[in-house]
Each structure stands twice: as C-alpha cells, then as structure tokens.
Amino acid sequence: MPALLNKSNLSASLREKTDRVTSKDRKLKTTCNEKLFDSCKAFFGKTGSQRSVPSEVLANPKIECIPCFDNEEWNVLNLERWTLVATDECLKQVSDAQKDWVRDNDSLKNLPSRVGSNEINYGLNHINISGGSRISDKGLEYLSRCDGLRSVDLTNCFQITGIGLHRLVSLCNLIQILSLSGCLGIDGNGFGTIGFNLHDLKSLEISGCSQISSKSLLQIFEGCTLVEKLDVSYCGNISDKEMKVLSKNCKKLSHLNVKECNLISDVCLVELSNNCAHLASIDVSRKAMTFHITDVALLSFGDRCQDLLEICLGGCDMITDTGICWLVQGCKNLVRLDLSYNTKISNAGIRSIGNGMMAFISLAYIV
C-alpha cells in the first residue's frame, strides 16, 4: 500500500496539520490580546503618548461637568470591536491601568476632588463591552474597581449573573447609563440590586430579559426615580401593576420602549400620560393581545403629552380613526407615527394626520 494511504501515516499527517492550525490560532489570539492590553495601557498613558486632562478642565478646575459625557477622547473606552478576545483578564488590565494613571498623572494634583457635594473621578467613566461573550462575574469584579464609571454597556454579555451585577452596581453607584439587554444569565430577582444602588440612573436598557421578575421591576422603579430613558421591550412579565409604579415615581421619563410587552393596557398608559407630561417617545407595538390598547390611550396622550415626538402603535388593532384624530389634535409636534398592521385605520384617519400635524416627517402604514 502506498505511504499516502497508510492509516498510521495519514493519522500522523492530520495531527501535524491540526497542531499547525491550533498553534497559528493560539499565536493569533495571543497577538490580539497583547494589542488589546497595549491599547488599554496606552489609553491611560502607560505606553505611547501620555494622556492628559483636557485643557478646558485645567483652565477651569471648578467646571461642574467633570467628567463630561461628550469628551470621548478622554474617558471613554470602547471594547465592542474586541469582543472575540476581550476577557476578564482584559478588564483587570483596564482597572489596574486606570488606577495607575490617576495616581501618577501630575496634572490631576492641583484639581479639586469635589465640586459642591459631588465627588469628582478623573479616571474611566464610560465603557462599552457589548457582545463580550467571554466576560463573566470575575470581569465585573475587576471593573467595579473603576468606581467613577458613569456609563456601562454590557449588552449580550450572557455569562454575567446577578452576583457580578450586584458587585458592579454596589461599588460603582454613580452609574447613570446602564445597558443589560440580552443578559440572560442574570436571574429574575438579580436585577433588583439596580434599584437599591443606582439612585442617579437616567437610562436603563434591559430589552429581551424576559426572566426579570415583577419584584425586581418594582424595586427598580421605586429606587431609580431619575430615569429618563427606559427600554423593557420583549420583557413579557411587565404589566399594568409595574407600569403604574413607574409612572408614579419616574416623572422625568421621556423615552419608553415597551414593545411586545403584551400585558400592558390602556389603564397604565393613561396613568403614564397623567404623570409623565414630558414623554417624547413611546413604543407599544405588539403582535399579541392587540385588544389591550384602544383609542382611550390616544385621547389621554393627546390631552397630556404635547411634547410627544414619536409613537409606535404597530399591531394595536383596536385603534380607530377617532383615536388618531384625538392624538394629532393634541400632539402637534409628532415627527414619527407607526400604524403598521392597524386594520381599522381608514383614509379618514390618514387625512386627519395630514391636517393636524405640522412637523410630521415619517409615517409607517402597512396593512
């Protein structure tokens, strides 16, 4: 038998090729990790050009927006494109580097540690590790050392649990923007720690976290009273009960996404419009239990929410021309209206839109 067809030789050849591929893959990952760690170090001035505090801060040490959300070159770290190699060890490197940078940066020594009653943190304020499939609770433990964090994006980090989340929010209680959409590893009651710790929270995204319990929702809505933007789309457990607590406590709410939250009805939407007068955007579109939302909700929005800019009513099949007329008569500033799959809307309803809306830009109307 020729050597190429010999069974033992063939097995040896396959093992050799496999070892070469594995070695190449390991070398590539090592190179990527080294580049990622170097980037994290450079971010805080450990290598490359020394990072410094922005000149406008040095010019006015009492500036109240320290650290500001708009200064993306100073305090924002985006690891979204590094998710294939980003690990818990990466977050340890980040936390260690930012600690060293704050300690060794001479330009910070003459700046105040507080503005009024607010403590100033000059380190890392914003981090995006969305899609970090290799980030676990250990990584959040390392990240919690960056206690000046204001914005954290953990979208689709499915390995993290309620333990890691509690560790993060209890030590980084200045967080104002938090995204946990798609974090299915957090148990239903694990979200409740947000309400106990993040009293300055302004934006929360937990889209797709259908496991969240009613208890956790109530804890969040009772503790995070400054929330302005809330995305609980595809969280099927949320009902009128939780929404009433939201509308009662979070009066600054301006953007609400409750898409496919099919237990929500006119009852809570009327309550919402009565308490959240500055509501600018709301999405209540759905494919099931379409009878829960009727013209009554639109009448209330038209009467109470004159600042409304966008409303999505796709699939709300009980809405008629009358409700649309009530809505556009009160909400003159609407720029987007979604009436997809609303079979009871006729030409009369479409005409009322044209007659009543001055700044109208976009209409979705699919039957």
Query: What's the pLDDT tens digit per position in 317-353?
Result: 999 999 999 999 999 889 899 999 888 999 888 888 8
CA distance 117 to 12: 70
Residue written as token pair 């704050």: 102
Neighbours of 120 (CB within 10 A): 18
Greatest mean pLDDT range, 4-8, 199-203, 327-331, 362-366: 199-203
Which is higher by pLDDT, 36 or 95?
95
> Taking residues 177-198, what's their average pLDDT?
95
Q: How confident is the model at residue 53 (pLDDT cuts 50, 70, 90)?
A: very low
Residue 203 has pLDDT above 50, yes or no: yes
Domain boundaries, the chain: 23-301
- Considering the chain, what percentage of its residues have pLDDT values greater than 90? 52
Nearest to 66 by CA among 127, 109, 101, 113: 113
- Residues in the chain, total: 367
Residue 315: both structure tokens together: 């699939």
The rounded distance, in Å, linking the Cα atoms of 309 and 279 is 8
The per-residue pLDDT for range 69-107, each reduced to its tens digit, is 334 444 778 888 887 778 898 888 888 877 665 565 555
pTM passes above 0.75: yes
* pLDDT reported for residue 66: 32
Q: Is the pLDDT of residue 247 over 90?
A: yes
Number of Cβ atoms within 10 Å of the Cβ of 206: 26
| CA neighbor of 227 nearest in space, from 219, 238, 237, 236 | 219
Average pLDDT over every residue of 41-49: 41
Q: Which residues make Cβ contacts (< 8 Å) with residue 68, sequence separation at least 6? A: none
Q: Strands, E, within the chain: which ranges?
A: 76-78, 114-115, 118-119, 126-128, 151-153, 177-179, 203-205, 229-231, 255-257, 281-283, 310-312, 336-338, 362-364
CA distance 270 to 294: 11
The stretch 213-231 carries a mean pLDDT of 96
Instruction: Give Rg (Cα) of the chain.
Output: 26
Q: Which pLDDT score, from 0 to 100, does residue 110 have?
A: 54
In the structure, what pLDDT confidence band is assigned to residue 8 with cuts at 50, 70 and 90?
Answer: low
**What does the pLDDT read at residue 55?**
44
Torsion of CA 58, 178, 129, 45, to 10 degrees: 10
Q: Which amino acid is at 56?
A: E
Report which of 138, 51, 9, 46 is spatially closest to residue 86, judged by C-alpha positions. 138
* 304-321 residue pLDDT tens: 999 999 999 999 999 999
Instruction: Please give the residue that has the higher pLDDT: either 297 or 75.
Output: 297
Residue 76: the pLDDT is: 79
| pLDDT score of 82 | 80
Mean pLDDT for the chain? 79
Q: Report how far residue 231's alpha carbon sits from residue 208's, in angstroms, rounded to the nearest whole number.
A: 9
| CATH of span 23-301 | 3.80.10.10
Cα dihedral value 233, 239, 242, 245, nearest 10: 100
Which has more pLDDT, 226 or 54? 226
**CA dist., res. 187 & res. 210, Å (int):** 10
